[in-house]
Amino acid sequence: MCGIVAYIGPREAYPIILKGLKRLEYRGYDSAGVALLNSGLKVYKKKGRVSELEESLQGVDLHAHIGIGHTRWATHGEPNDRNAHPHTSASGNLAMIHNGIIENYAQLKKELTKKGYTFKSDTDTEVLLNFIEDIQTNNNCSLEEAVRIALKRVVGAYVIVLINKNDPDTLIAARKGSPLVIGIGKNEHFLASDASPIIEYTKEVVYVNDYEIAIIKQDELILKNLGNERQTPFITKLDMELAAIEKGGYDHFMLKEIFEQPQTIYDCLRGRLDAQAGTITMSGIQKYAEQISNANRIIIVACGTSWHAGLVAEYIFEELCRINVEVEYASEFRYRNPVINKGDVIIAISQSGETADTLVAIENAKAKGALILGVVNVVGSSIARISDAGAYTHAGPEIGVASTKAFTAQLAVLTMIALKIGYEKGTLDHDRYMQLLQELDAIPDKVTEVLRSKDNIQAIAEKYKDAKDALYLGRGYNFPVALEGALKLKEISYIHAEGYPAAEMKHGPIALVDEDLPVVFVATKDSYHEKVVSNMQEIKARKGKIIAVINEGDEQSSALAQDIITIPQADEIVAPMLSAIPMQLLAYYIGIAKGYDVDKPRNLAKSVTVE
């Protein structure tokens, strides 16, 4: 989950690497470091944010045209100076950065210790680096060949980039299970975990595949597999603008991304949904529409916020398509021995398209004959490439660690897929289909209305910022929204929060209710509304503090709540895209009121590319 950056070319390397690390801090911010080659190999690293590294290097001569950089989310070894990357080899000739986990590092370390190696850090990365150097020394081979031999022994996930004091014109990189993008410039190359550090300099990129090694010089990029066979680099044009990865006048990326949702949902629908013509155009889905329609089962695999989107989709697909749906945590699904039959449909949901557990889960399912559909945001990502078909969410770069606009974009895509399949299958009649197209088409404008409640939500946040716990309740389509609301509060404010189906409250959680407990009800008018009102009365009777997300004109719910947040009326199938917005804003404003860095919550990273 760490962020890596590297550069080779005629420009000064350090400013490019530093700016790149700042853009990748959402991937990890426990420590940061750079290694530069100029009349020797110089390594600088420090615990803390990239800004602390930058401050420590004021006045230092950092001239170099080749270098590597790293911002860390700690896996092996606590966050401190000595465990920060880059790491240097025993001889001091090599430096390496690494994103991933080497699972058999202990065995390798034991072998190296017997040979007399000592280690300056607690990391698996230093072990792998010395293992590579040991192979190079004992076999009198090139660094490229040593990397190839070493990686055949390695178990785990990795992106590595190496710099060699004795070869100042070359970078060596390799990838398995973690993302690596190479930007192609004029006599220069840029390497990064994603495209955000690259977009300023070039829009031509190569996405490195698993088990590939890249040999990069100023004017040359060579890709080889572990069998030493040359591969043809496939150059992709980035569909991204620099403004998309900047704050644009907002105080935080999270707030910017919340307020982008009218546009990102519109972008997701644009070119696909034509409510007047009554059509949904999704070529990837159309190709497999018959197979999806005839599936006995759809299995949705995801993690975190994407899992909550999958739960909403379960309700939608079962209602509209009459197909049995199961929603699985990818981290559990991949380690079970699930029953997967040929003809089953797996929908993998991931913002980054690189989530390690989801990636392995669909690899296993694909090997058993399942059809894989990917719903991802990042073009060219690993899940997108392994999927048989699917749809991009077109939400644009999401920099804030807590996912916001990606969630609503995922819901928009999943709803369109369900509408398309249900209508073609005949389980959704024409009138209802046309009604839902109109409802979905109206969502961007209704999200804009919800965002006008920001001042009210901020005032509510001030009232509850000192709460120790919170309970989020919803039913039906809004139950996953309650789960997502609780997750956002935990991520951003560090307040313990639980999401529950409102009906399950009586089976335990009601014991927590007292005059100090805020209880957030997602209580929009739907087929469950009267039941939810009854649950609100039970909380009120026990003096709980009720915050209710309701539709305009709902006097019954309003009379029971201490605080209300109103949102426009919408069909229950599309309503979660509206009711999720107050959850995001409430968490944001509580985090701000508590003085926390909401873009970089403690212990979290954006893209979980390790187990």
Return the active site residues.
2, 606
CB 191 within 8 A of CB 173: yes
Residues paired with 112 in a beta bridge? none
Q: At what angle do helices 304-321 and 479-493 cross, to 10 degrees?
A: 170
Q: CA 133 → CA 44, 62, 243, 390, distances in Å?
A: 21, 26, 42, 42
Instruction: Compute and round to an integer the Cα radius of gyration of the chain.
Output: 25
Contacts of 150 (CB under 8 A, 6+ apart): 128, 131, 132, 135
Place of tokens 């807590």: 402
Short-list 314, 300, 486, 517, CA closest to 402:
486
Going 285 to 294 to 577 to 333, the CA torsion angle's sign is negative
- Rounded CA gap, 586 and 475, in Å? 20
Sheet holding 235-237, edge to edge: 41-47, 31-37, 66-72, 3-8, 188-192, 181-185, 204-207, 235-237
Instruction: DSSP for 237-299, please give it.
Output: E----GGGGS-TT-S-HHHHHHHTHHHHHHHHHTTTEETTTTEE--HHHHHTHHHHHT-SEEE
- Rounded CA gap, 376 and 392, in Å? 5
3-class secondary structure, 401: coil
Both tokens of 252, joined, read: 């935080």
